[in-house]
Amino acid sequence: MGKQGQYEDSSNSVTEIGEEKKERFSRSGFIFAAIGSAVGLGNMWKFPYITGMYGGAAFFLLFIVCLLAIGLPVLLAELAIGRGGRGSVSTSFIRLSGAKGWGAVGFLSILAPFFILSFYSVVAGWTMHYAVLTFSGRLFSNTDYGGQFNAFIGGWLPVLWQFIAMFLTAFVIIKGVSSGIERFNQIFIPGLVILLIVLMVRALTLDGAGEGVSFFLKPDFSKLNTESALVALGHAFFSLSLGMGAMITYGAYVDKRQSLGAAAIAIGLGDLLYAFLAGLIIFPTTFAFGLEASQGPGLVFVALPAAFAAMPLGTLFGGLFFVLLAFAALTSTVSLLEVPVSFVTEQLGWSRSFSVIIVTAAIFLMGVPSALSVGGAVSGLNFGGKTFFDWFDFVCSNIVLPFGGLMVTIFVGYVWKGAAEESGLTASWFKLWLFMVRYIAPVLVFLVLLYSAGVIHF
Ligand code: TRP
């Protein structure tokens, strides 16, 4: 493994370098795993707070449009690259284009999940800590929830929880594609829906829930502006796990006979459903207790505890909520870890277990400054007004991710000739797909990129 064969231009777009990935998902296993990757802190932590900040229902509608019109075509493109290339991200790019230069893009999309995991796992750790805090009743012993949250993220405990989050992720990944990733998601993704529905019924039956529902579902278009459109598009990418090779990596394990178009639609709608249910839990709850929906990242950790404290059986519902968040986060961290692990096993020829241990350790170490920088020991270390955590999040979500997405659209739109066949789409669907991937998606994604990099302002 890992030795690079000569690659020749052949009419069959797959050229020979290294070995092809052999492991495969089952049909439903793949759908669950991909939904598991998509559904995460993005749906349940980030989506509600940005929807709160950018005006509620109108923003939600924009998000739906971005997800369906831009997200789905790019998702299909990533899945097709993965299945067509059957390698780690950079190998797949090289195989399908026959040009080594494309390997650099693949390499970038391998570093990115590496970085993003180092702070995503920090927040995943917070959710686990909050689950324990809630179930044990300690959360409610002090009603200054903001102060409690700050004291927690200001201490050393987040490092321990981040370690636990990475450890659990590594545990799943070490078991491999079908008995690790697939089995884990087949249990937790249906489990999540049940938990979400229980919590939604609870939220919708609270006195005063109606106001939250109309904030979430009754659009006021005057609140929309260009900035909210770009944020919606950026979030559609994040939420569908696009732009850094996660879906390419999973695509490499998909059976040739499975329809990628149908899979992309199932994944997109699944992701949307979880965001919708999360909104129907969080907004009715926040409004019913007169809390502020637009308060940003603290929404889930600061506002919701106050609501749980005031509701009958709040310990149970609050605890369930944080368990739900933790599971959702873990099905995503699993997909993020698989990307660099697949690269390392393929390129260096290491065994899966050894790769997982080394990569996990490196990510954990890189995450320590993140875990401590939100309010802890190294929070004084600022670069240009941003902490480590902020920098990781900002650079990954706002620059690397749209850049990766842009490269995917260019690759499928202009470089790779075998996309039509690999996608399995009928001629008219293929035309529509190609149109979106060639002309619409790259332009809009480029705008997001310029905006995020501070080159253009609105
Ligand atoms: N989509 C996940 C969420 O919504 C996060 C995630 C997992 C991700 N894998 C990714 C984001 C790959 C970008 C790229 O929380």
Closest residue CA from atom 4 of ligand 1: 42
Q: What DSSP string runs through 238-300?
A: HHTT-SSSHHHHHHTTS-TTS-HHHHHHHHHHHHHHHHHHHHHHHHHHHHHTT--TT-GGGII
Closest residue CA from atom 10 of ligand 1: 241
- Going from the Cα of 120 to the center of ligand 1, the distance in angstroms, rounded, reads 9
Angle between helices 314-348 and 89-97 (to 10 degrees): 50
Answer yes or no: is the C-beta of 423 below 6 A from any ligand 1 atom. no
- Going from the Cα of 236 to the center of ligand 1, the distance in angstroms, rounded, reads 10
Q: What is the pLDDT of residue 361?
A: 95
Give the position, in ligand 1's atom list, of the atom nearest the Cα of 45.
15
- Going from the Cα of 10 to the center of ligand 1, the distance in angstroms, rounded, reads 35
Q: What's this model's pTM, rounded to 2 decimal places?
A: 0.90
- Going from the Cα of 401 to the center of ligand 1, the distance in angstroms, rounded, reads 10
The Cα-based distances of 284 to 22, 197, 213, 237, 249 in angstroms read 47, 14, 6, 26, 37
Q: What is the pLDDT of residue 284?
A: 94
Arithmetic mean of pLDDT, 374-395 = 64
**Sign, Cα dihedral of 75, 97, 399, 252:** positive
- Going from the Cα of 336 to the center of ligand 1, the distance in angstroms, rounded, reads 7
Q: Residue 168: which CATH number?
A: 1.10.4160
Residue 392 has pLDDT above 80, yes or no: no
Q: How many helices (H) does the chain have, and how many strands (E)?
A: 22, 0
Q: What is the pLDDT of residue 279?
A: 94
Closest residue CA from atom 12 of ligand 1: 241
Answer yes or no: is the C-beta of 37 below 6 A from any ligand 1 atom. yes
Average pLDDT value over all residues in the chain: 88
Instruction: Tell me, yes or no, whether 15 lies in a domain.
Output: no
- Going from the Cα of 237 to the center of ligand 1, the distance in angstroms, rounded, reads 8
Written as six digits, the tokens of 438 are 């060639």
Instruction: Tell me, yes or no, whether 1 lies in a domain.
Output: no
More confident call, 219 vs 7 = 219
Instruction: Tell me, yes or no, whether 289 lies in a domain.
Output: yes
Answer yes or no: is the C-beta of 238 below 6 A from any ligand 1 atom. yes
Most ligand 1 atoms within 8 A of CB, residue of 49, 78, 114, 116 to mutate: 116
pLDDT one-digit tens code per residue, 5-14? 333 343 344 4
Arithmetic mean of pLDDT, 312-339 = 93
Give the position, in ligand 1's atom list, of the atom nearest the Cα of 329.
15
Instruction: Tell me, yes or no, whether 2 lies in a domain.
Output: no
Instruction: Tell me, yes or no, whether 147 lies in a domain.
Output: yes
Answer yes or no: is the C-beta of 332 below 6 A from any ligand 1 atom. yes
Answer yes or no: is the C-beta of 244 below 6 A from any ligand 1 atom. yes
pLDDT one-digit tens code per residue, 245-264? 999 999 999 999 999 999 99
More confident call, 27 vs 154 = 27
Helix (H) or strand (E) holding 104: helix 102-135
Instruction: Tell me, yes or no, whether 77 lies in a domain.
Output: yes
Q: How far apart are CA 447 and CA 441, in angstroms?
A: 10
Instruction: Tell me, yes or no, whether 102 lies in a domain.
Output: yes
Say if CB 131 and CB 322 are below 8 A apart.
yes
Residue 108 has pLDDT above 90, yes or no: no
Answer yes or no: is the C-beta of 274 below 6 A from any ligand 1 atom. no
Angle (CA) 333-335-339 rounded to 5° is 115
Instruction: Tell me, yes or no, whether 158 lies in a domain.
Output: yes
Full residue range of the structural domain in which residue 280 is found: 23-452
* Secondary structure (H, E, C), 382-421: CECCECHHHHHHHHHHHHHHHHHHHHHHHHHHHHCCCHHH
Residue 268 has pLDDT above 70, yes or no: yes
Give the position, in ligand 1's atom list, of the atom nearest the Cα of 335.
9
Beta bridge partners of 383: 386
For the chain, what is the domain count? Answer: 1
Answer yes or no: is the C-beta of 246 below 6 A from any ligand 1 atom. yes
Q: What is the pLDDT of residue 385?
A: 64
Most ligand 1 atoms within 8 A of CB, residue of 335, 338, 399 to mutate: 335
Give the position, in ligand 1's atom list, of the atom nearest the Cα of 396.
13
**Residue 216: which of 170, 165, 275, 291 has the closest Cα?**
275
